[in-house]
Amino acid sequence: MALRKLVAGNWKMNGDRAALAELDAIAAAAVDHGGVDVAVCPPFTLIAPAADRAPGLPIGAQDCHQNAKGAHTGCISAAMLKEAGARLTIVGHSERRADQHETDAEVRAKAEAAIGAGLTAIVCVGETEAQRDAGQALAIVEGQLDGSVPPAGTGDTLVIAYEPVWAIGTGRTPSVADVAEMHAAIRAKLAALLGEEGAKVRILYGGSVKPDNAVELLGVADVDGALVGGASLTAAQFVPIIAAAASLG
Ligand code: PGA
């Protein structure tokens, strides 16, 4: 089943109010290419101004806390994100799994909190280079899915992003065959975890997606879109990726 593609930008800890000017052309491209979904996830402080500036463009966060409120200094709840204008949030990005020591169980709880607050959750998984070299890539990703996919996730509320850690920000990407093998394995695991709904959950590829490799990566079976870091920071780089997704239907 071909799912509607989603191209989501992850600005990470980049961008300021001046950078929101990039959203004008990104939002226009999203309208031009109405056959694909587009979203941008800026830093927390830019969510509200981004949503104001580009009301038609889904704006997301890059993390949320698993609890609704309480004594969690420096954290932010899913409902707060929703109130600020977010429609989705990334959870379990490998940078957070590494830097903030987030576990699969925490990632699942964050995804459940996001969905409970009315946000779509993009749950990230992916192996390190050492794990791939040891032949463990499939087992690692399947284990992350077992631990971090919310059982109530649906095609409307849940997205998976497969991001090999060694491909993030490096300019390196897996072979088409390796992407195909991994996305097929993720699809099978989603069916096992979610039943029929597992066929409707989009599986994004992420890690050094650029205008010049987007058609190749997005054309792989069961690649239902892309999670884009560096190349989402400017419309000049991000719009061609949106167009590539649209060209594949
Ligand atoms: P990149 O980042 O496109 O800069 O490799 C992707 C990501 O971490 O989501």
Please report which confidence band the pLDDT of residue 1 belongs to, taking 50, 70 and 90 as the band edges: low
User: Residue 45 domain-assigned?
Assistant: no
The CATH number for 137's domain is 3.20.20.70
pTM of the model: 0.98
Q: Among candidates 14, 25, 36, 17, which has minimal Cα distance to 244?
A: 36
For residue 230, report the distance from its CA to the centre of ligand 1, in Å: 6
User: Residue 42 domain-assigned?
Assistant: no
Q: How many domains does the chain have?
A: 1
Phi and psi based region of residue 204 (left: phi greater than 0; alpha: psi -120 to 50; beta: remaining): beta
User: Residue 58 domain-assigned?
Assistant: no
Domain of residue 197, residue span? 63-67+74-210
User: Residue 203 domain-assigned?
Assistant: yes
User: Residue 11 domain-assigned?
Assistant: no
User: Residue 117 domain-assigned?
Assistant: yes
pLDDT of 228-248, one tens digit each? 999 999 999 999 999 999 999
The pLDDT of 134-138, averaged and rounded, is: 98
Nearest CA to ligand 1 atom 2: 229
Mean pLDDT, rounded, of the chain? 98
User: Residue 152 domain-assigned?
Assistant: yes
pLDDT of 26-44, one tens digit each? 999 999 999 999 999 999 9
Among 6, 128, 209, 232, which residue has the most ligand 1 atoms within 8 Å of its CB, making it the best to mutate? 209
The pLDDT of 113-132, averaged and rounded, is: 98
User: Residue 171 domain-assigned?
Assistant: yes
The pLDDT of 77-86, averaged and rounded, is: 98
